[in-house]
Amino acid sequence: MTVTQLKAVPVPHSALDDIPPMVERLRATFESGKTRPLAWRREQLQGLRAYGKEQAERLAEALHADLNKPAMEAYAADIGQVSNEAKHALKNLAKWTKPERIGRMPMLGKSVLMRDPLGVVLIIAPWNYPVGLLLSPLVGAIAAGNAAVLKPSEVTAHTSAVLAETLPKYLDSDAITVVEGGVEETTTLLDQRFDHIMYTGNGQVGRIVMEKAAHTLTPVTLELGGKSPCIVDATADLETTARRIAWGKFMNAGQTCIAPDYVLVEDSVHDGLISALEKTVKQFYGNNPQETQDYARVVNQRHHGRLTKLLEGQEIAFGGKTDVDDCYIEPTVLKNVSVDSPIMKNEIFGPILPVLKIANVDEGIAFVRARDKPLALYIFSGEEDVAEKVLEETSSGGACVNGTIMHIGDARMPFGGVGESGMGAYHGRSSFETFTHRKATLRRGLRFDFKMMYPPYTKFLTNMVKKSV
Protein backbone atom coordinates (compact mmCIF):
# COMPACT_ATOMS: atom_id res chain seq x y z
CA MET A 1 0.00 0.00 0.00
CA THR A 2 1.36 3.42 -0.92
CA VAL A 3 0.83 6.68 0.87
CA THR A 4 -1.20 7.92 -2.10
CA GLN A 5 -3.59 4.98 -1.71
CA LEU A 6 -3.84 5.55 2.03
CA LYS A 7 -4.95 9.13 1.55
CA ALA A 8 -8.16 7.82 -0.06
CA VAL A 9 -9.23 6.10 3.19
CA PRO A 10 -12.34 7.81 4.66
CA VAL A 11 -12.80 8.55 8.34
CA PRO A 12 -13.74 5.12 9.71
CA HIS A 13 -16.86 4.30 11.73
CA SER A 14 -18.32 1.18 13.31
CA ALA A 15 -22.09 0.70 13.33
CA LEU A 16 -23.47 1.95 16.65
CA ASP A 17 -26.08 -0.83 16.82
CA ASP A 18 -23.33 -3.44 16.56
CA ILE A 19 -21.48 -2.26 19.66
CA PRO A 20 -23.71 -3.62 22.51
CA PRO A 21 -23.99 -7.15 21.07
CA MET A 22 -20.28 -7.13 20.26
CA VAL A 23 -19.41 -6.36 23.90
CA GLU A 24 -21.79 -9.10 25.05
CA ARG A 25 -20.15 -11.54 22.64
CA LEU A 26 -16.78 -10.80 24.16
CA ARG A 27 -18.23 -11.24 27.64
CA ALA A 28 -19.61 -14.62 26.66
CA THR A 29 -16.16 -15.58 25.43
CA PHE A 30 -14.60 -14.54 28.73
CA GLU A 31 -17.25 -16.31 30.80
CA SER A 32 -16.61 -19.48 28.82
CA GLY A 33 -13.09 -19.55 30.25
CA LYS A 34 -11.42 -19.41 26.84
CA THR A 35 -9.06 -16.54 27.73
CA ARG A 36 -7.80 -17.98 31.03
CA PRO A 37 -5.36 -20.75 29.97
CA LEU A 38 -1.76 -19.64 29.64
CA ALA A 39 -1.63 -21.37 26.27
CA TRP A 40 -4.28 -19.00 24.89
CA ARG A 41 -2.50 -15.98 26.33
CA ARG A 42 0.82 -17.05 24.83
CA GLU A 43 -0.78 -17.62 21.44
CA GLN A 44 -2.22 -14.09 21.42
CA LEU A 45 1.05 -12.51 22.60
CA GLN A 46 2.92 -14.39 19.89
CA GLY A 47 0.35 -13.07 17.45
CA LEU A 48 1.05 -9.52 18.59
CA ARG A 49 4.78 -10.07 18.18
CA ALA A 50 4.23 -11.33 14.66
CA TYR A 51 1.87 -8.44 13.94
CA GLY A 52 4.42 -5.85 15.00
CA LYS A 53 6.99 -7.35 12.66
CA GLU A 54 4.93 -8.41 9.64
CA GLN A 55 2.71 -5.33 9.44
CA ALA A 56 5.40 -2.81 10.40
CA GLU A 57 5.84 -1.37 6.93
CA ARG A 58 2.14 -0.95 6.33
CA LEU A 59 1.65 0.68 9.71
CA ALA A 60 4.60 2.99 9.07
CA GLU A 61 3.00 4.10 5.79
CA ALA A 62 -0.26 4.81 7.60
CA LEU A 63 1.55 6.81 10.27
CA HIS A 64 3.31 8.79 7.55
CA ALA A 65 -0.02 9.53 5.89
CA ASP A 66 -1.57 10.68 9.18
CA LEU A 67 1.34 12.54 10.77
CA ASN A 68 4.15 12.63 8.22
CA LYS A 69 5.85 10.55 10.90
CA PRO A 70 9.44 9.68 9.92
CA ALA A 71 10.04 5.95 9.51
CA MET A 72 12.63 5.98 12.28
CA GLU A 73 10.15 7.47 14.77
CA ALA A 74 7.37 5.17 13.57
CA TYR A 75 9.41 2.02 14.11
CA ALA A 76 11.28 3.08 17.25
CA ALA A 77 8.68 5.01 19.23
CA ASP A 78 5.37 3.60 18.03
CA ILE A 79 5.34 0.23 16.28
CA GLY A 80 8.41 -1.22 17.97
CA GLN A 81 7.05 -1.07 21.48
CA VAL A 82 4.35 -3.61 20.60
CA SER A 83 6.77 -6.43 19.80
CA ASN A 84 9.04 -5.47 22.68
CA GLU A 85 6.22 -5.47 25.23
CA ALA A 86 4.86 -8.78 23.91
CA LYS A 87 8.31 -10.37 24.06
CA HIS A 88 8.76 -9.18 27.66
CA ALA A 89 5.34 -10.53 28.66
CA LEU A 90 5.97 -13.91 27.05
CA LYS A 91 9.26 -14.22 28.92
CA ASN A 92 7.66 -13.40 32.28
CA LEU A 93 4.11 -14.73 31.93
CA ALA A 94 4.61 -17.87 34.02
CA LYS A 95 6.22 -15.87 36.84
CA TRP A 96 3.55 -13.17 36.82
CA THR A 97 0.65 -15.60 36.94
CA LYS A 98 2.11 -17.99 39.51
CA PRO A 99 0.30 -17.82 42.87
CA GLU A 100 2.42 -15.80 45.29
CA ARG A 101 3.04 -17.39 48.68
CA ILE A 102 2.79 -14.78 51.41
CA GLY A 103 3.40 -17.07 54.39
CA ARG A 104 1.60 -19.07 57.06
CA MET A 105 -0.92 -17.93 59.65
CA PRO A 106 -0.45 -19.96 62.87
CA MET A 107 -3.10 -22.70 63.17
CA LEU A 108 -5.06 -21.25 60.23
CA GLY A 109 -3.24 -22.07 57.01
CA LYS A 110 -1.21 -20.62 54.13
CA SER A 111 -1.80 -17.12 52.75
CA VAL A 112 -1.58 -17.00 48.96
CA LEU A 113 -2.05 -14.12 46.53
CA MET A 114 -3.74 -15.21 43.31
CA ARG A 115 -4.20 -13.11 40.18
CA ASP A 116 -7.51 -13.26 38.36
CA PRO A 117 -8.37 -11.63 35.02
CA LEU A 118 -10.88 -8.81 35.36
CA GLY A 119 -13.12 -9.72 32.42
CA VAL A 120 -13.83 -7.49 29.41
CA VAL A 121 -11.70 -4.35 29.23
CA LEU A 122 -11.83 -1.23 27.05
CA ILE A 123 -8.67 0.46 25.75
CA ILE A 124 -9.10 3.93 24.22
CA ALA A 125 -5.99 5.21 22.44
CA PRO A 126 -4.96 8.70 21.30
CA TRP A 127 -3.77 9.84 17.88
CA ASN A 128 -0.18 10.84 18.57
CA TYR A 129 1.19 7.28 18.88
CA PRO A 130 -1.86 5.42 17.60
CA VAL A 131 -0.24 1.98 17.33
CA GLY A 132 1.88 1.74 20.46
CA LEU A 133 -0.61 3.41 22.80
CA LEU A 134 -3.35 1.04 21.64
CA LEU A 135 -1.47 -2.26 21.54
CA SER A 136 1.02 -1.83 24.37
CA PRO A 137 -1.78 -1.83 26.99
CA LEU A 138 -3.36 -4.75 25.12
CA VAL A 139 -0.28 -6.82 25.94
CA GLY A 140 -1.08 -6.48 29.63
CA ALA A 141 -4.77 -7.18 29.11
CA ILE A 142 -3.97 -10.38 27.21
CA ALA A 143 -1.28 -11.48 29.67
CA ALA A 144 -3.83 -11.12 32.45
CA GLY A 145 -6.35 -13.28 30.57
CA ASN A 146 -8.96 -10.70 29.58
CA ALA A 147 -11.10 -10.06 26.55
CA ALA A 148 -10.64 -6.57 25.11
CA VAL A 149 -12.26 -3.88 22.98
CA LEU A 150 -9.79 -1.59 21.23
CA LYS A 151 -10.79 1.94 20.24
CA PRO A 152 -8.16 3.64 18.02
CA SER A 153 -8.39 7.38 17.37
CA GLU A 154 -10.45 8.54 14.43
CA VAL A 155 -8.10 11.52 14.04
CA THR A 156 -5.43 9.23 12.58
CA ALA A 157 -7.89 7.63 10.20
CA HIS A 158 -5.37 5.80 8.00
CA THR A 159 -3.79 4.05 10.96
CA SER A 160 -7.18 3.20 12.44
CA ALA A 161 -8.26 1.60 9.17
CA VAL A 162 -5.10 -0.51 8.91
CA LEU A 163 -5.42 -1.66 12.53
CA ALA A 164 -9.08 -2.64 12.06
CA GLU A 165 -8.33 -4.53 8.87
CA THR A 166 -5.17 -6.39 9.90
CA LEU A 167 -5.38 -7.09 13.64
CA PRO A 168 -8.13 -9.76 13.36
CA LYS A 169 -5.76 -11.84 11.22
CA TYR A 170 -3.39 -12.20 14.18
CA LEU A 171 -5.66 -12.28 17.24
CA ASP A 172 -8.68 -14.23 18.45
CA SER A 173 -11.63 -12.17 17.20
CA ASP A 174 -13.96 -13.88 19.67
CA ALA A 175 -12.06 -12.14 22.48
CA ILE A 176 -10.37 -9.09 20.96
CA THR A 177 -12.02 -6.63 18.60
CA VAL A 178 -11.58 -3.13 17.20
CA VAL A 179 -14.27 -0.43 17.22
CA GLU A 180 -13.60 2.55 14.95
CA GLY A 181 -15.14 5.99 15.03
CA GLY A 182 -15.34 9.21 16.98
CA VAL A 183 -17.43 10.74 19.76
CA GLU A 184 -20.62 8.77 19.05
CA GLU A 185 -18.89 5.42 18.96
CA THR A 186 -16.83 6.19 22.06
CA THR A 187 -19.92 7.37 23.94
CA THR A 188 -21.77 4.18 22.99
CA LEU A 189 -18.83 2.11 24.19
CA LEU A 190 -18.74 3.96 27.51
CA ASP A 191 -22.44 3.18 27.98
CA GLN A 192 -21.58 -0.54 28.05
CA ARG A 193 -20.42 -2.43 31.12
CA PHE A 194 -16.68 -3.09 31.24
CA ASP A 195 -14.45 -4.45 33.97
CA HIS A 196 -11.69 -1.90 33.39
CA ILE A 197 -11.24 1.12 31.15
CA MET A 198 -7.88 2.49 30.07
CA TYR A 199 -7.89 5.90 28.45
CA THR A 200 -4.94 7.87 27.08
CA GLY A 201 -5.60 11.49 26.11
CA ASN A 202 -6.51 14.84 27.62
CA GLY A 203 -7.93 15.61 31.04
CA GLN A 204 -11.23 16.95 29.73
CA VAL A 205 -12.15 13.65 28.09
CA GLY A 206 -10.54 11.78 30.99
CA ARG A 207 -13.12 13.31 33.32
CA ILE A 208 -15.93 12.18 31.00
CA VAL A 209 -14.52 8.65 30.96
CA MET A 210 -14.28 8.60 34.74
CA GLU A 211 -17.80 9.95 35.14
CA LYS A 212 -19.20 7.29 32.82
CA ALA A 213 -17.22 4.57 34.58
CA ALA A 214 -18.60 5.68 37.95
CA HIS A 215 -22.10 4.56 36.96
CA THR A 216 -20.95 0.93 36.93
CA LEU A 217 -18.12 1.34 39.47
CA THR A 218 -15.66 0.41 36.74
CA PRO A 219 -12.00 1.01 37.63
CA VAL A 220 -10.06 3.25 35.27
CA THR A 221 -6.48 3.94 34.25
CA LEU A 222 -6.00 7.46 32.93
CA GLU A 223 -2.84 8.68 31.19
CA LEU A 224 -3.46 12.39 30.72
CA GLY A 225 -0.22 14.20 29.99
CA GLY A 226 0.32 17.75 31.24
CA LYS A 227 3.02 20.39 31.17
CA SER A 228 6.24 18.43 31.67
CA PRO A 229 9.05 20.81 32.75
CA CYS A 230 12.80 20.80 32.16
CA ILE A 231 14.99 22.40 34.81
CA VAL A 232 18.50 23.31 33.63
CA ASP A 233 21.15 24.59 36.03
CA ALA A 234 24.41 26.37 35.32
CA THR A 235 26.52 23.20 35.64
CA ALA A 236 24.80 21.34 32.78
CA ASP A 237 26.72 20.69 29.56
CA LEU A 238 24.73 22.92 27.22
CA GLU A 239 25.44 21.12 23.95
CA THR A 240 24.38 17.73 25.29
CA THR A 241 21.45 19.27 27.15
CA ALA A 242 20.24 21.04 24.01
CA ARG A 243 20.43 17.86 21.92
CA ARG A 244 18.45 15.85 24.44
CA ILE A 245 15.82 18.52 25.00
CA ALA A 246 15.40 19.22 21.27
CA TRP A 247 15.12 15.52 20.46
CA GLY A 248 12.48 14.94 23.14
CA LYS A 249 10.56 18.09 22.24
CA PHE A 250 10.52 18.01 18.44
CA MET A 251 10.09 14.25 17.94
CA ASN A 252 6.67 13.71 16.37
CA ALA A 253 6.44 17.52 16.02
CA GLY A 254 6.08 17.87 19.79
CA GLN A 255 2.97 15.68 19.90
CA THR A 256 4.21 13.46 22.71
CA CYS A 257 2.57 13.31 26.13
CA ILE A 258 5.94 13.42 27.91
CA ALA A 259 7.62 15.92 25.59
CA PRO A 260 9.37 18.76 27.42
CA ASP A 261 6.64 21.41 27.60
CA TYR A 262 8.77 24.29 28.85
CA VAL A 263 12.29 24.93 30.13
CA LEU A 264 13.31 26.65 33.35
CA VAL A 265 16.96 27.61 32.97
CA GLU A 266 19.27 29.47 35.31
CA ASP A 267 19.75 33.06 34.14
CA SER A 268 23.51 32.75 33.67
CA VAL A 269 23.18 30.10 30.95
CA HIS A 270 19.85 31.18 29.43
CA ASP A 271 21.32 32.72 26.27
CA GLY A 272 23.82 29.90 25.87
CA LEU A 273 21.09 27.26 26.01
CA ILE A 274 18.97 29.04 23.41
CA SER A 275 21.99 29.31 21.09
CA ALA A 276 22.74 25.61 21.61
CA LEU A 277 19.11 24.71 20.88
CA GLU A 278 19.15 26.72 17.64
CA LYS A 279 22.37 25.06 16.55
CA THR A 280 20.96 21.63 17.40
CA VAL A 281 17.72 22.15 15.46
CA LYS A 282 19.74 23.05 12.34
CA GLN A 283 21.87 19.94 12.83
CA PHE A 284 18.74 17.79 13.18
CA TYR A 285 16.53 19.23 10.46
CA GLY A 286 18.66 21.55 8.28
CA ASN A 287 17.98 25.17 7.42
CA ASN A 288 14.44 24.38 6.26
CA PRO A 289 12.83 21.64 8.39
CA GLN A 290 9.81 21.59 6.07
CA GLU A 291 11.95 19.91 3.43
CA THR A 292 13.41 17.13 5.57
CA GLN A 293 11.94 13.63 5.81
CA ASP A 294 12.84 13.52 9.51
CA TYR A 295 10.27 15.98 10.83
CA ALA A 296 6.60 15.17 11.39
CA ARG A 297 3.54 17.39 10.95
CA VAL A 298 0.80 18.64 13.22
CA VAL A 299 -1.99 16.10 12.98
CA ASN A 300 -4.63 18.34 11.40
CA GLN A 301 -5.57 21.94 10.64
CA ARG A 302 -7.64 22.32 13.81
CA HIS A 303 -4.63 21.60 15.98
CA HIS A 304 -2.47 23.72 13.66
CA GLY A 305 -4.80 26.66 14.31
CA ARG A 306 -4.71 26.07 18.05
CA LEU A 307 -0.90 26.11 18.06
CA THR A 308 -0.46 29.14 15.81
CA LYS A 309 -2.81 31.07 18.08
CA LEU A 310 -0.49 30.29 21.00
CA LEU A 311 2.33 32.00 19.09
CA GLU A 312 0.48 35.31 18.97
CA GLY A 313 2.24 38.02 20.95
CA GLN A 314 5.22 35.80 21.83
CA GLU A 315 8.89 36.69 21.40
CA ILE A 316 10.37 34.09 19.08
CA ALA A 317 14.00 33.22 19.70
CA PHE A 318 14.09 31.15 16.50
CA GLY A 319 11.67 29.26 14.28
CA GLY A 320 8.05 30.35 14.06
CA LYS A 321 7.31 29.67 10.37
CA THR A 322 3.97 27.99 9.67
CA ASP A 323 2.11 26.51 6.69
CA VAL A 324 -1.51 25.62 7.37
CA ASP A 325 -1.98 23.68 4.12
CA ASP A 326 0.93 21.42 5.08
CA CYS A 327 0.01 21.37 8.79
CA TYR A 328 3.59 22.53 9.32
CA ILE A 329 5.01 24.47 12.24
CA GLU A 330 8.75 25.01 12.33
CA PRO A 331 10.59 23.87 15.48
CA THR A 332 10.16 27.00 17.57
CA VAL A 333 11.74 28.31 20.77
CA LEU A 334 10.25 31.25 22.67
CA LYS A 335 11.94 33.53 25.18
CA ASN A 336 10.78 36.13 27.71
CA VAL A 337 7.49 34.28 28.03
CA SER A 338 4.99 35.60 30.58
CA VAL A 339 3.86 32.93 33.04
CA ASP A 340 0.34 34.32 32.63
CA SER A 341 0.21 33.86 28.84
CA PRO A 342 -2.08 31.17 27.36
CA ILE A 343 0.88 29.05 26.27
CA MET A 344 1.79 28.50 29.94
CA LYS A 345 -1.72 27.45 30.98
CA ASN A 346 -2.25 24.14 29.18
CA GLU A 347 -0.15 21.41 27.61
CA ILE A 348 1.23 22.72 24.30
CA PHE A 349 1.35 19.39 22.43
CA GLY A 350 3.22 20.82 19.48
CA PRO A 351 6.68 21.96 18.35
CA ILE A 352 6.81 25.15 20.45
CA LEU A 353 9.16 25.39 23.44
CA PRO A 354 9.00 28.31 25.91
CA VAL A 355 12.29 28.98 27.74
CA LEU A 356 11.96 30.88 31.03
CA LYS A 357 14.70 32.31 33.23
CA ILE A 358 15.08 31.33 36.88
CA ALA A 359 17.54 32.63 39.43
CA ASN A 360 18.37 29.18 40.77
CA VAL A 361 17.12 25.61 41.05
CA ASP A 362 15.10 26.39 44.19
CA GLU A 363 13.05 28.87 42.17
CA GLY A 364 12.52 26.18 39.53
CA ILE A 365 11.34 23.69 42.14
CA ALA A 366 8.91 26.24 43.57
CA PHE A 367 7.60 26.99 40.05
CA VAL A 368 6.89 23.31 39.39
CA ARG A 369 5.34 22.70 42.80
CA ALA A 370 2.95 25.62 42.37
CA ARG A 371 1.36 23.91 39.36
CA ASP A 372 -0.36 20.62 38.53
CA LYS A 373 1.81 17.54 38.90
CA PRO A 374 3.28 16.73 35.47
CA LEU A 375 3.47 13.37 33.70
CA ALA A 376 7.24 13.76 33.39
CA LEU A 377 9.94 15.98 34.85
CA TYR A 378 13.45 16.52 33.52
CA ILE A 379 16.46 17.88 35.38
CA PHE A 380 19.76 18.71 33.69
CA SER A 381 22.71 19.28 35.98
CA GLY A 382 26.33 18.30 36.35
CA GLU A 383 25.79 17.98 40.10
CA GLU A 384 24.25 14.76 41.39
CA ASP A 385 23.10 16.46 44.60
CA VAL A 386 21.12 19.01 42.58
CA ALA A 387 19.35 16.28 40.61
CA GLU A 388 18.50 14.42 43.84
CA LYS A 389 17.13 17.61 45.38
CA VAL A 390 14.80 18.18 42.42
CA LEU A 391 13.61 14.57 42.43
CA GLU A 392 12.96 14.59 46.18
CA GLU A 393 11.19 17.95 46.30
CA THR A 394 8.90 17.57 43.28
CA SER A 395 6.16 15.12 42.32
CA SER A 396 5.67 13.79 38.79
CA GLY A 397 4.49 10.66 37.04
CA GLY A 398 8.06 9.85 36.02
CA ALA A 399 11.38 11.63 35.77
CA CYS A 400 14.67 11.61 33.93
CA VAL A 401 18.02 13.04 34.96
CA ASN A 402 20.06 14.56 32.13
CA GLY A 403 17.71 13.19 29.51
CA THR A 404 14.17 13.25 28.14
CA ILE A 405 11.63 10.64 27.07
CA MET A 406 13.95 7.65 27.56
CA HIS A 407 12.75 6.73 31.04
CA ILE A 408 9.69 5.01 29.51
CA GLY A 409 11.87 2.65 27.46
CA ASP A 410 12.43 0.14 30.26
CA ALA A 411 9.52 -2.32 30.29
CA ARG A 412 10.33 -3.19 33.90
CA MET A 413 9.34 0.33 34.97
CA PRO A 414 5.74 1.54 35.43
CA PHE A 415 4.54 4.43 33.30
CA GLY A 416 1.71 6.63 34.49
CA GLY A 417 0.70 9.98 35.92
CA VAL A 418 -0.13 11.48 39.28
CA GLY A 419 -2.80 14.04 40.11
CA GLU A 420 -3.90 15.94 37.01
CA SER A 421 -1.50 13.94 34.82
CA GLY A 422 -3.37 10.70 35.42
CA MET A 423 -3.86 7.67 37.63
CA GLY A 424 -2.65 4.10 37.41
CA ALA A 425 0.27 2.79 35.40
CA TYR A 426 1.22 0.31 32.71
CA HIS A 427 4.18 -1.16 30.76
CA GLY A 428 5.62 -4.58 31.52
CA ARG A 429 4.40 -6.15 34.74
CA SER A 430 2.53 -2.95 35.59
CA SER A 431 0.28 -3.55 32.56
CA PHE A 432 -0.37 -7.10 33.75
CA GLU A 433 -1.21 -5.86 37.26
CA THR A 434 -3.47 -3.10 35.90
CA PHE A 435 -5.74 -5.65 34.23
CA THR A 436 -5.57 -8.17 37.08
CA HIS A 437 -7.43 -8.61 40.36
CA ARG A 438 -5.14 -9.63 43.21
CA LYS A 439 -7.20 -12.17 45.13
CA ALA A 440 -6.16 -12.76 48.73
CA THR A 441 -6.61 -16.48 49.42
CA LEU A 442 -6.22 -18.57 52.57
CA ARG A 443 -5.56 -22.26 52.01
CA ARG A 444 -6.53 -24.56 54.91
CA GLY A 445 -6.62 -28.29 55.43
CA LEU A 446 -9.47 -30.33 56.91
CA ARG A 447 -7.54 -32.68 59.18
CA PHE A 448 -7.02 -30.24 62.06
CA ASP A 449 -9.65 -27.83 63.37
CA PHE A 450 -8.97 -25.41 66.23
CA LYS A 451 -12.32 -25.88 67.98
CA MET A 452 -11.65 -23.33 70.72
CA MET A 453 -12.24 -20.54 68.18
CA TYR A 454 -15.93 -21.42 67.83
CA PRO A 455 -18.79 -20.41 70.17
CA PRO A 456 -19.48 -20.78 72.96
CA TYR A 457 -16.29 -18.81 73.62
CA THR A 458 -14.30 -19.84 76.68
CA LYS A 459 -12.95 -17.38 79.21
CA PHE A 460 -9.45 -18.71 78.51
CA LEU A 461 -9.75 -17.92 74.77
CA THR A 462 -11.20 -14.48 75.48
CA ASN A 463 -8.34 -13.64 77.85
CA MET A 464 -5.79 -14.96 75.35
CA VAL A 465 -7.20 -12.76 72.57
CA LYS A 466 -7.45 -9.82 74.93
CA LYS A 467 -3.73 -10.07 75.77
CA SER A 468 -2.85 -10.09 72.11
CA VAL A 469 -4.64 -6.81 71.40
Segment 8-67, tens digit of pLDDT = 457 778 999 999 999 999 999 999 999 999 999 999 999 999 999 999 999 999 999 999
* Number of Cβ within a 10 Å radius of residue 17: 9
Residues in the chain: 469
pLDDT given at position 411: 87
Task: Kindly report the pTM of this predicted structure.
Answer: 0.95
SS3 (DSSP) at 178: strand
Per-residue model confidence as pLDDT tens digits over 214-273 = 999 999 999 999 999 999 999 999 999 999 999 999 999 999 999 999 999 999 999 999
pLDDT given at position 2: 38
pLDDT given at position 4: 37
What is the DSSP track for 228-248? Answer: EEEEE-TTS-HHHHHHHHHHH
As to burial, measured by CB atoms within 10 angstroms (0-12 exposed, 13-18 middle, 19+ buried), residue 299 is buried
CB 40 within 8 A of CB 34: yes
Q: Which amino acid is present at 369?
A: R
Among all residues, which ones are annotated catalytic?
A: 223, 257
pLDDT given at position 12: 78
Is the model's pLDDT at 386 over the cut of 80? Answer: yes
Half-sphere exposure of 268 (CA within 13 A, CB side): 7
pLDDT given at position 9: 57
pLDDT given at position 451: 81
* Number of Cβ within a 10 Å radius of residue 6: 20
SS3 (DSSP) at 266: strand
Is the model's pLDDT at 1 over the cut of 60? Answer: no
Is the model's pLDDT at 310 over the cut of 80? Answer: yes
* Number of Cβ within a 10 Å radius of residue 293: 10
Q: What percent of the chain has pLDDT over 70?
A: 98
SS3 (DSSP) at 428: coil
Q: What percent of the chain has pLDDT over 90?
A: 89
As to burial, measured by CB atoms within 10 angstroms (0-12 exposed, 13-18 middle, 19+ buried), residue 36 is middle
Q: Which domains does the chain have, with CATH numbers?
A: 3-224+419-441 (3.40.605.10), 228-409 (3.40.309.10)
CA distance 118 to 387: 40
